[in-house]
Amino acid sequence: MILMKKITSIDLFAGVGGMRISLSKALKKKGFIDDCKLYSEINVYSQQTYKENFPETKLIEDIKSVDKKDINLLIPDHDILLAGFPCQPFSRAGISKRKNLKRAHGFDDKEQGDLFFNILNILNIKKPKAFILENVQNLKTYRNGIILNQILKELRKNFFVPEPEVLNAQDFGLAQRRKRIFIVGFSKFNGEFKFPTPTYEKTLVKDFLDLYPPKKYIISDLLWDSHKKRKIRNKKAGKGFGYKLTNPNDKATVTISARYYKDGSECLLYRGENKNPRRLTPREVFRLQGFPESFKFSVSDLQAYKQAGNAVPINVVEKVCASVVSYLEKNKKNVLLIKKAS
C-alpha cells in the first residue's frame, strides 16, 4: 500500500473539464491524487461530455442558484478552487456582439458578467488554500484595467494574490496562438509566487492533425467561393475580417474560438494548389487545446467545436497548477490531507 497525498478541488464553470484535467496531470507528476468534489456547468451538452469523462463527480448546474447563506451546506470543503469564469462579456468578440445587440457587457452583463461574485462568495466562505482563475487576455485592458483592478481588490481582502499573468499556449508546446490571463491566490503568504516560464517546445500545426481526416471537412466549392468573395469585399471596405488560411507546416494557428462551428473561416487548412481547404476536425481542435487522445466526446460536431473553442489550453494550465502546488508545498502547515490510495 502506497501513501499518497490527496488534494481536493472544485471545478466551477467547468465546461468539459479542461481545468480539472490540467490540475490532475500536474498533481500526478508531483505524486498527488486529485479528488474533485464538485463541478458546476449550466450547458447540458458540456455536462454530457463532462460526465463521459468524469461520471462520478457531483454536479451543480447553475452556480447562481447557490444562495450565499447556503454555500457551507452545498459546497464541500476543498483545497483548490478552479474557475474559468465566462469570458464572453470581456472578450473583444463578445463585447462587439453585445454592442450590436444593445446589450450590456463586462460586469454590467447580468447574465454572465457578474458571475465572478459567485466565485468570490464561495472563496470568502469556504477559504480554500488556493484558487486558479482563467479568462481572456482582454480582461487585462478592458475599461483601461478598471474591472481587473476591481476583481483583484476584492480577492485581496482575504487572499494573497500576486499580479496576474498573461500566458500564450504557443509558448507551452501547443501549435495555437491563444493568450489567456491567469489569476491565482492563496490563503497564506509563503513568499514570492512565480508563474511558469514558457517551455518553447517546437511544434507545428501538422503535429496535431489527423493522418486521414474525413472528406466531409473539405469545404464545398460554393462555400470556398463565398469566403474568397467576402474577403475581397471586406478588404475594400477596410475591414480585416475574412478567412484565415493555415499551412500544416505553420508554427501555430490563430486562436480557435467557440464560433468555429459556423464556417471554420478563422482557420482553414491549406491542402495544396487548386484544392479547396478543409476545416479542422473536432478532435484536432481538442488536440490544439492540449486534450489527451483518451478524452471522450459523443456530441455533434457543432457542440464539439463550441466545447473545444471554449476550453482552456491544457499545457498552460497544467504548468500554472504545478506552480500553485509547489507554492503550497513551501509551507507544510498549509498542505494537505494525507490519505491512502488504493
More confident residue, 235 or 109: 235
CA dist 46 and 41 (Å) reads 7
**271 lies in a domain?**
yes
134 and 212 part of one domain? no
Of the three residues 272, 288, 304, the one that is the final residue of a domain is 288
Cell for 320? 500554472
pLDDT-based confidence at residue 238 (cuts at 50, 70, 90): confident
**298 lies in a domain?**
no
**304 lies in a domain?**
no
**317 lies in a domain?**
yes
**303 lies in a domain?**
no
256 and 334 part of one domain? no
pLDDT-based confidence at residue 142 (cuts at 50, 70, 90): confident
64 and 184 part of one domain? yes
Mean pLDDT across 170-188: 97
282 and 327 part of one domain? no
pLDDT-based confidence at residue 260 (cuts at 50, 70, 90): very high
Task: Give me the amino acid identity at 168.
Answer: N
Task: List, for residues 4-36, the tens digit of each pLDDT value.
Answer: 689 999 999 999 999 999 999 999 999 999 999
322: nearest Cα among 18, 4, 28: 28
Averaged pLDDT score across all residues of the chain: 90
CA dist 231 and 293 (Å) reads 35
**Which of 39-48, 80-89, 309-318 is the least confident region?**
80-89
**294 lies in a domain?**
no
Task: Give me the amino acid identity at 236.
Answer: K
pLDDT-based confidence at residue 235 (cuts at 50, 70, 90): confident
pLDDT-based confidence at residue 212 (cuts at 50, 70, 90): very high
Task: List, for residues 59-68, the tens digit of each pLDDT value.
Answer: 999 999 999 9
pLDDT of residue 175: 98
CA dist 315 and 151 (Å) reads 25
169 and 224 part of one domain? no
- CATH classification at residue 154: 3.40.50.150
pLDDT of residue 331: 67
Q: How many domains does the chain have?
A: 2
**242 lies in a domain?**
yes
Strand locations in the chain (E):
2-12, 32-40, 58-60, 80-83, 130-136, 165-168, 179-186, 245-246, 268-269, 278-279, 337-341
Task: List, for residues 276-298, the tens digit of each pLDDT value.
Answer: 999 999 999 999 999 999 999 99
145 and 244 part of one domain? no
- Asked if residue 105 has pLDDT above 50, the reply is no
Cell for 62? 447553475
**188 Cβ contact partners less than 8 Å away, ≥ 6 residues apart:** 129, 160, 331, 334
Residues with catalytic annotation? Answer: 87
Domain that holds residue 245: 205-288
pLDDT of residue 94: 46
269 and 335 part of one domain? no
Task: Please report, in angstroms and rounded to a whole number, the separation of the first and last CA atoms in the chain.
Answer: 7
193 and 210 part of one domain? no
- Asked if residue 114 has pLDDT above 90, the reply is no
CA dist 195 and 323 (Å) reads 6
Cell for 331? 509551507
pLDDT of residue 103: 53
146 and 213 part of one domain? no
pLDDT of residue 161: 98
219 and 131 part of one domain? no
pLDDT over 90 percentage in the chain = 78
pLDDT of residue 80: 98
49 and 98 part of one domain? yes
pLDDT-based confidence at residue 190 (cuts at 50, 70, 90): confident
286: nearest Cα among 326, 249, 314, 264: 314
187 and 275 part of one domain? no
- CATH classification at residue 231: 3.90.120.30
**25 lies in a domain?**
yes
CA dist 110 and 134 (Å) reads 20
Greatest Cα-to-Cα distance within the chain, rounded to the nearest angstrom = 70
pLDDT of residue 98: 41
CA dist 251 and 207 (Å) reads 10
